[in-house]
Amino acid sequence: MPTSSELSDLFGTLSKIFGVLGSVEDAAGSAE
């Protein structure tokens, strides 16, 4: 089992990835 700190690191990484994806979608949407 992963430790709670490893889990929080994982969720932090995931939220960063989704944040980047959201920014890309916003940029693509405003460019159209």
Q: What is the pLDDT of residues 1-32, one digit of tens each?
A: 889 999 999 999 999 999 999 999 999 999 87
Q: What is the pLDDT of residue 32?
A: 76
pLDDT at position 1 is 80
Stated pTM of the model: 0.64
d(CA 26, CA 3): 35
Residue 2 has phi, psi (to 5 degrees) of -70, 150
Contact 2, 10 (CB under 8 A): yes
